[in-house]
Structure 1
Amino acid sequence: MNKKIIISGATFLFLSISLILTSCTNTAKKTNTSTSLSTSEVEVQKTVYASDVIPFFDHWKLILGDGSNAGVVNNFENKDFFYTANDGSNNWVVYKAPNSGDTHGTSNNTRTELAQAKKWSPLTDAKLTATLKVTNVSSTGDARVAASYSVVVGQIHSADGHENEPLKIFYKKFPGHTKGSIFWNYEINTLGDDNSGRWDYSSAVWGNNFSVVGTDENTYPEEPIDGIALGEEFSYEIEVKDGIMNLKFISEGHETKSFTKNLIESEYTTTTNIPKQTQNLFVPIGQDGVERKNAYASEGLFFKLGSYNQTNGKSPEVNKVWCSGAETHGGDIQKQYEDGNYAEVWFKTASIYVSDAAVSNDGYFIKND
């Protein structure tokens, strides 16, 4: 049997007030929930680490611009030297190194740079790729010095013997120029126990090669027509297979460039083979060695990547190829950052591959430059 429910006026008034109070309570809860979401959103804006942007840091150890060894840098940042930044479209990994500070090993130059943790044979397979942009090079230096205003953004380094470098990829831009140059250097693996005669041979990618310098301290060569500006993106690919190094350079609006270099058979075994570029740049300072016939065939190699600042404060009178005489503020890093005396490189992507057969059983971390 259905029963009618009769609500008195007093009861109706009580229920109405209750509903109003309940409605206010819900509104208050919604306000609190909104506040909670806002806090949550702030919490979501946590640190983006380099290993979140380019997840390959298990394969590397990092040296910072103060000479310290940060080791494997998953979930790591250092706001002075190694951190991430967003340009409005992408996250990038930033490597920053002043003109002067504590350096690593025997090098004259500071670096914030990764060194691959394992060495490999040039007779097998290894590959490194990267997409990057250089955002700053030193604002001071001596224009006659080839290393002034430049930074190395990728390397192959030897882990054995003289520990020389079969590959260094440079970016260099003179003050007042809009465009800079990309070039790569091959350093000979010097014959004999004395490595003081080692020298580089440089190949231009876009713009000039390493040997193009100013006529005096503050006079610069002409700006390269086909150069790369600060902040302009480019990519490199380095592949070593069966002793042959293949390089590829790509940048939108520029011709793609490819190069090949034999790493296990030298073309510089006699003084008559020394290129004219080297005769003009290195021979006058006594660096006139020859290379061992098998070049780097018997040595373990490893990749490097980052910002290896080539501009330092040492006097050009010591070495007019590598000593830049740049401003260092007595090693004060923050003052160098304030007036542009540093090198900064942003990496958007990078990848590494080394075949299992190529990897040495012995771990290796860089001991000098």
Structure 2
Amino acid sequence: MTKKFITFVPMFSLVGVLLLLSSCNNKKEASTTEIETLNNKEAQKTIYASDITPFFDHWKLILGDGSNVGIANNFENKDFFYTANDGEDWVVYKAPNGGDTHGTSNNTRTELAQQKKWYPKTANDKLTTTLKVMNVSSTGDARVAASYSVVVGQIHSADKHENEPLKIFYKKFPGHSKGSVFWHYEINTAGDDNAKRWDYSTAVWGNDFSVVGTDVSTYPEEPEDGIALGEAFSYEIVVKDGVMNLKFTSEGHETKTFAKNLIVSEYTTTASIPEQTQKLFVPIGQDGVERENAYAGEGLFFKLGSYNQTNGKSPEVNKNWCSGAETHGGDIQKQYQDGNYAEVWFKEANIYVSEAAVSNEGYFTKND
């Protein structure tokens, strides 16, 4: 009996240990599965643009198909507006060369438009952001100044001619590693005929708008101090007491600042039209003059996004703005496949709206 008892106990203990180990292993496996499930659920959670730049209550979002989706909190559209991560979170704004447009524009845009407008004389309004341009159109006419470019920020008028005292451009020719950043002032044309309006372009890094190719596919020299695709830069726009102040910064590049009076014009006579404009716009009949008080008395508002300046219209219509680029008849996916689109990534965007700002709903009513 003693011998049998001694023999039985180890066998029982061994079975118990095995059962216990098996139970622990099952628990461990279950725990690992649960963790993986939780991780998968977390990975599948959508990161919205409003999680990255939580300021969308101030804007309405226009998409690259011409639609106004309104306030873009917790919103995405995989064709035009979504988020990406390359180690940092970014908001992607994408617009094809051709498709349905917003308002009277010839160009597609995925762009925010401020819900309020403000008046330059009483303004104390500010927009700051950091961005990088990831793509500009792969086709276009090199002689056309707008080819291969995208507008990444604006001040727009909500009233009268609805002109633009500020457009910030990025432009890169095919085959170049670096592109140019420049900004435009568009005159607020005197009189009722706005067809004679023109832009004056100022270089930030690289060239200005007026530097073009000698024929359809012959490009000017690449700018030495340009900005590459995927290279981040920042801009700051402050409008106060009638003056627009601009600041541009980028690591490894000289910081540039500019100021422009928005309520007193310097372009009120034909003699005051700049030489750049004489060469670029006057030959096509855009030779107007500006109201003496420029944009005084007009409601202005900020825009931010990807406003593609390359389109499929023939350069014979307008050699500055009509690029003759590939649009595949408006087929967005085909344009995306062969690089005929503009794509801009934004982060760290902020807006300050003055107490004097008022509703901009009238602009959207006219243009939607």
**TM-score band, normalised by shorter chain:** over 0.9
Aligned to 2:37: 39
Q: Residues 61 and 365 of structure 1 are in contact (CA less than 8 Å); yes or no, is this contact kept in structure 2?
A: no
Q: Residues 238 and 246 of structure 1 are in contact (CA less than 8 Å); yes or no, is this contact kept in structure 2?
A: yes
Taking the aligned partners of 1:124 and 1:101, their CA distance within structure 2 comes to: 35
Residues 286 and 151 of structure 1, relative CA distance in 2, 3 Å threshold: same
Q: Residues 119 and 363 of structure 1 are in contact (CA less than 8 Å); yes or no, is this contact kept in structure 2?
A: no
Aligned to 2:132: 133
Taking the aligned partners of 1:362 and 1:181, their CA distance within structure 2 comes to: 32
Aligned to 1:205: 204
Q: Residues 131 and 232 of structure 2 are in contact (CA less than 8 Å); yes or no, is this contact kept in structure 1?
A: yes
After superposition, give the CA deviation of every residue in 1:242-286 in whole Å (9 maximum; x if it has no partner).
110000000111111000000011111111111111111111111
Given the alignment of the two structures, is residue 261 of structure 1 paired with residue 260 of structure 2, yes or no? yes
Question: Aligned to 2:195, what secondary structure does the other structure show?
Answer: coil
Aligned to 1:93: 91
Question: Aligned to 2:27, what secondary structure does the other structure show?
Answer: helix
TM-score by length of 2: 0.94
Aligned to 2:195: 196
> 2:188 is matched by which residue type in structure 1?
N
Taking the aligned partners of 2:17 and 2:278, their CA distance within structure 1 comes to: 94
Residues 277 and 77 of structure 1, relative CA distance in 2, 3 Å threshold: same
Aligned to 2:27: 29
Taking the aligned partners of 1:282 and 1:28, their CA distance within structure 2 comes to: 77
Q: Residues 117 and 365 of structure 1 are in contact (CA less than 8 Å); yes or no, is this contact kept in structure 2?
A: no
Taking the aligned partners of 2:225 and 2:286, their CA distance within structure 1 comes to: 31
> 2:357 is matched by which residue type in structure 1?
V
Aligned to 1:4: none
Taking the aligned partners of 1:119 and 1:153, their CA distance within structure 2 comes to: 19
Aligned to 1:339: 338
Aligned to 2:296: 297
> 1:207 is matched by which residue type in structure 2?
G
The CA deviation at 1:328 is 0.8
Aligned to 2:103: 105
Q: Which runs of 5+ in 2 are unaligned?
A: none
> 1:276 is matched by which residue type in structure 2?
E
Taking the aligned partners of 1:361 and 1:58, their CA distance within structure 2 comes to: 13
* RMSD value, Cα: 1.6
The CA deviation at 1:20 is 4.1
Aligned to 1:348: 347
After superposition, give the CA deviation of every residue in 1:140-197 in whole Å (9 maximum; x if it has no partner).
1111111000000000000111100000000001111111110000001111111111
Question: Aligned to 1:134, what secondary structure does the other structure show?
Answer: strand
Taking the aligned partners of 1:204 and 1:163, their CA distance within structure 2 comes to: 24
Taking the aligned partners of 1:110 and 1:133, their CA distance within structure 2 comes to: 19
Residue in structure 1 matching 2:112, options 111, 114, 118 = 114
> 2:338 is matched by which residue type in structure 1?
D
After superposition, give the CA deviation of every residue in 1:11-67 in whole Å (9 maximum; x if it has no partner).
886576445434422321221111011000000111111111111111111111111
After superposition, give the CA deviation of every residue in 1:90-115 in whole Å (9 maximum; x if it has no partner).
11111110100111111000001011
**Percentage of matched positions with identical amino acids:** 76
> 2:345 is matched by which residue type in structure 1?
W
TM alignment of 1:323-334, pairs within 5 A: 323-334=322-333
Taking the aligned partners of 1:121 and 1:238, their CA distance within structure 2 comes to: 15
Q: Residues 114 and 360 of structure 2 are in contact (CA less than 8 Å); yes or no, is this contact kept in structure 1?
A: no
Aligned to 1:164: 163
Aligned to 1:185: 184
Q: Residues 96 and 336 of structure 2 are in contact (CA less than 8 Å); yes or no, is this contact kept in structure 1?
A: yes
Q: Which runs of 5+ in 1 are unaligned?
A: 1-7
> 1:38 is matched by which residue type in structure 2?
E
After superposition, give the CA deviation of every residue in 1:60-101 in whole Å (9 maximum; x if it has no partner).
1111111111211111111111111111x2111111101001
- State how many pairs are aligned: 360
Taking the aligned partners of 1:77 and 1:204, their CA distance within structure 2 comes to: 34
Aligned to 1:319: 318
Taking the aligned partners of 1:175 and 1:15, their CA distance within structure 2 comes to: 77
Given the alignment of the two structures, is residue 279 of structure 1 paired with residue 278 of structure 2, yes or no? yes
> 1:353 is matched by which residue type in structure 2?
Y
> 1:102 is matched by which residue type in structure 2?
D
Taking the aligned partners of 1:364 and 1:236, their CA distance within structure 2 comes to: 28
> 1:63 is matched by which residue type in structure 2?
I
